[in-house]
Amino acid sequence: MGRSASGTAVTERKKGGSRELKVRVKTGKKRTLSSKIWLERQLNDPYVARAKKEGFRSRSAFKLMEIDDKHRFLKTGARVVDLGAAPGGWSQIAAKRTGAPAKGRVIAIDVLEMEALSGVNFLHLDFLDAAAPDRLKAMLGGPADIVLTDMAANATGHRQTDHLKIMALVEAAAEFAREVLSPGGTFLAKVLQGGTESALLAGLKRDFASVKHIKPAASRADSAELYLLATGFRGSN
C-alpha cells in the first residue's frame, strides 16, 4: 500500500491474476465523511478517468453517448437545446454529433458558469427564470429537434423531497420542449427512480409517439437516476 501527500492511500489487490489499484481517502479534520465518500468514489470511477483522458467535461458525456448510440437521435444538422448544461459534457457530445456550428446548432443554459465550448452557444441564466424560455427561443432562431436536460436540484438527503424537486424541473423542461420542438422531435430528461409522476408521463405519451425509461451503463449502479426518453413529438396543439 502506498500513500500520497493529499491523504489518500493506494491499495493493491489481486484480481484474476492481475493487480488492481484502489484509492482510499483518509478523513481529516477538514474533510467530512460524505466528502470522503464522494472523493473516493470519483478517484475510483473508471468513467471519471476516461472523461479526463478523452477530454470530456464530465463523466455524464458517456451516458448521452450510450443512449444516442442505441436510439440515434443526435443527427447531423440537428438543433439542440441543453438545459442545465454545466460543466458541458452533454453539450460536447451534442455539438460533435450534430456537426455544430457548421451544420447543427447547440444552445446551452445553466445557472452556473460554463467555459466556452466550440459549436455551443451558452446562456448564463437559471432555466426557471421567467425570461429564459424566450431568450433560448431567440438564440435558436427556429424550432428545435432535441431538448436535453440533465438538471438536478441540490440534494437534501430526503428521498421524497429530492424526487419532487427534480420532477418539478423535468415538468418545466417538458413544457418548454412542447413549445420549441418540431414534429418528430426528441426530449431526453433525467428523473429519479420512485416513479415518474403519472400526469407528466400521461402527457408525454399523448404528445410523443414513444416514451421509455433508460438506465445507461455509465449511470452508477447505486444511483437512483434514470433517463426518460420521449421520441416522435406529435407537434404542439
Q: What is the β-pairing status of strands 144-149 and 79-83?
A: parallel
Query: If 0-12 CB within 10 Å is exposed, 13-18 middle and 19+ buried, where does residue 65 land?
Result: buried
- Residues with catalytic annotation? 190
DSSP string of 80-93, one letter each residue: EEEET-TT-HHHHH
Separation between Cα atoms, residue 226 and residue 237, nearest integer Å = 29
Using the 8-state DSSP alphabet, how is residue 127 labeled?
T
H-type helices in 113-158, by residue range?
Answer: 132-140
Query: If 0-12 CB within 10 Å is exposed, 13-18 middle and 19+ buried, where does residue 14 land?
Result: exposed
Separation between Cα atoms, residue 38 and residue 45, nearest integer Å = 10
